[in-house]
Amino acid sequence: MSKSRLVTFMLSVFVVGMVELMIAGILTLMSADMNISEAIVGQLVTVYALTFAISGPILVKLTKNFSPKLVLMISMILFIIGNGIIAFSPNFTILVIGRVLSSAAAAIIVVKILALTVIYSKPSQRGKMIGLVYTGFSASNVLGVPLGTKIGDLVGWRMTFLFICLVGVVAFILISINISSDKINNADEPTPQSHSYKILQPLEVVKYLSITFLILAANYVVITYISPLLSIYGYDLNIVSLVLLVAGIGAILGTSLGGYITDAIGSKNWLIISLSTYTVLMFIFQSFLPILIITLIGVFVWNIVQWGSNPPVQIGIISQIEGDTSAAMSWNMSSLNAGIGAGSLLGGIFVTYFNVVSSLYVAGALSFIALLICLTIKKQPKIV
């Protein structure tokens, strides 16, 4: 794959990841400006995640006969329009409309980008290239979300979404330049492969998908409301930006380390370690909050083990599939986004009827359930 295409794909994934996670950093600003509760604003994360999870498979099927470039360009335009609607929204209803539009567009963008990454990569480099494209999402955590939070703090939350629109325009231009107008059956396409697959042990796949759902729900019960959680301990938006930056660095490191450790000790063993660590951290994290440096260390470790659970889950699912694994990977993506949506929703309920600190204990309970499920997983050799 050419460097220009790789940059195009990484930037496209970057802007999509940025807009999904942005609400956590500017939640208090939006709440104050729109005169609505923080719990209600937090549901914008739920709206985005659930729309993403539901619309993705449907839109992929509807657009399969069209040129990927055309689909990507139209989707990016809709993504830009959706975020523009959010930036100028006068009320919560319009916010939701913009959020749904941008999320549906983002879902098709991610799927098409990953499909094109496979097509434009040599067979021996596909894993590496997919990993590089995914760093765009990690970078959105490390750079995009803290940057967006800082923009919101300096000039208002609406400018954050206008910044996203600007990055979207750049991505649109790069797509128009660097992607072929041909349909999938272009010269760069590898030999067609069968899309048939066989699930060896369906229950084991369900267990892995359940772990994905629960650990993402646990994470987003807390991270969606991280701004009000930190504010009650006297931290301002500058600290929120710093915390999100540390979280993003931990996420990148965790994803990388998770893969290496899984190769070394196996999916189940690493999942037990990561889920146990995460569960304990959630139950004791409140004691970290009065001291900033301890809070930052806790956030760093929390994100290492939480995001480090992704590689063993993916490898565990692949080990249960004979043939094409793309369908199973799409199930995992849907579980991931459903978990984000459910966690944000559940967090909003507890923030409304209890307090924001309670979200930590809800997260601990969810991850403990995931740990119990993990303990029942059968050790299975990887299918090559």
The CATH number of whichever domain residue 338 belongs to comes to 1.20.1250.20
Q: What are phi and psi of 361, to 5 degrees?
A: -75, -30
Q: How confident is the model at residue 367 (pLDDT cuts 50, 70, 90)?
A: very high
Classify residue 206: in a domain, yes or no: yes
Higher pLDDT pick, 304 / 331: 304
Classify residue 186: in a domain, yes or no: no
Burial class (CB in 10 A: 0-12, 13-18, 19+), 292: middle
Q: Are residues 239 and 324 in the same domain?
A: yes
Instruction: Look at 37-46, 78-87, 275-284 and tell me which has the smallest mean pLDDT.
Output: 37-46
Q: How far apart are CA 169 and CA 274, in angstroms?
A: 39
Which residue, 128, 143, 178, sits at the end of a domain?
Answer: 178
Contacts of 112 (CB under 8 A, 6+ apart): 60, 63, 68, 71, 72, 75
Q: Are residues 150 and 228 in the same domain?
A: no
Q: Are residues 99 and 10 in the same domain?
A: yes
Higher pLDDT pick, 379 / 52: 52
Classify residue 341: in a domain, yes or no: yes
Q: How far apart are CA 225 and CA 357, in angstroms?
A: 9
Q: Are residues 146 and 242 in the same domain?
A: no
Q: Are residues 169 and 228 in the same domain?
A: no
Q: In the prediction, which pLDDT does 52 show? A: 85
Angle at CA of residue 19, ends 63 and 121, nearest 5°: 50
Q: Are residues 153 and 294 in the same domain?
A: no
Q: Are residues 150 and 203 in the same domain?
A: no
Residue with tokens 């993003």: 248
Residue with tokens 């709206």: 47
Which residue, 178, 209, 243, sits at the end of a domain?
Answer: 178
Classify residue 137: in a domain, yes or no: yes
Q: In the prediction, which pLDDT does 277 show? A: 96
Q: What percentage of the chain carries pLDDT values higher than 90?
A: 36
Angle at CA of residue 191, ends 186 and 194, nearest 5°: 115
Q: Are residues 282 and 341 in the same domain?
A: yes
Q: What average pLDDT does this structure show over 316-330?
A: 69
Q: In the prediction, which pLDDT does 197 show? A: 64
The tally of domains found in the chain comes to 2
| HSE value, Cβ hemisphere, 13 Å, CA-based, for 363 | 35
Tens-digit pLDDT profile for residues 255-275: 778 877 877 888 899 999 999
Q: Are residues 222 and 324 in the same domain?
A: yes
Three-class secondary structure assignment of the chain: CCHHHHHHHHHHHHHHHHHHHCHHHHHHHHHHHHCCCHHHHHHHHHHHHHHHHHHHHHHHHHCCCCCHHHHHHHHHHHHHHHHHHHHCCCCHHHHHHHHHHHHHHHHHHHHHHHHHHHHCCCHHHHHHHHHHHHHHHHHHHHHHHHHHHHHHHHHCHHHHHHHHHHHHHHHHHHHHHHCCCCCCCCCCCCCCCCCCEEECCHHHHHHHHHHHHHHHHHHHHHHCCHHHHHHCCCCCHHHHHHHHHHHHHHHHHHHHHHHHHHHHHCHHHHHHHHHHHHHHHHHHHHHHCCCHHHHHHHHHHHHHHHHCCHHHHHHHHHCCEEECCHHHHHHHHHHHHHHHHHHHHHHHHHHHHCCCCHHHHHHHHHHHHHHHHHHCCCCCCCCC
Burial class (CB in 10 A: 0-12, 13-18, 19+), 233: middle
Contacts of 211 (CB under 8 A, 6+ apart): 271, 275, 309, 313, 370, 373, 374
Cβ 304 vs Cβ 253: under 8 Å: yes
Q: Are residues 321 and 219 in the same domain?
A: yes
Q: How confident is the model at residue 78 (pLDDT cuts 50, 70, 90)?
A: very high
Q: Are residues 168 and 273 in the same domain?
A: no
Tens-digit pLDDT profile for residues 208-262: 999 999 999 999 899 888 888 999 998 888 888 888 889 888 888 887 788 778 7
- The pTM assigned to this predicted structure is 0.73
Cβ 123 vs Cβ 190: under 8 Å: yes
Residue with tokens 């490191």: 253
State which residues form the domain around 354.
198-375
Classify residue 188: in a domain, yes or no: no
Q: Are residues 68 and 123 in the same domain?
A: yes
Classify residue 354: in a domain, yes or no: yes
Strands 321-323 and 197-199: antiparallel
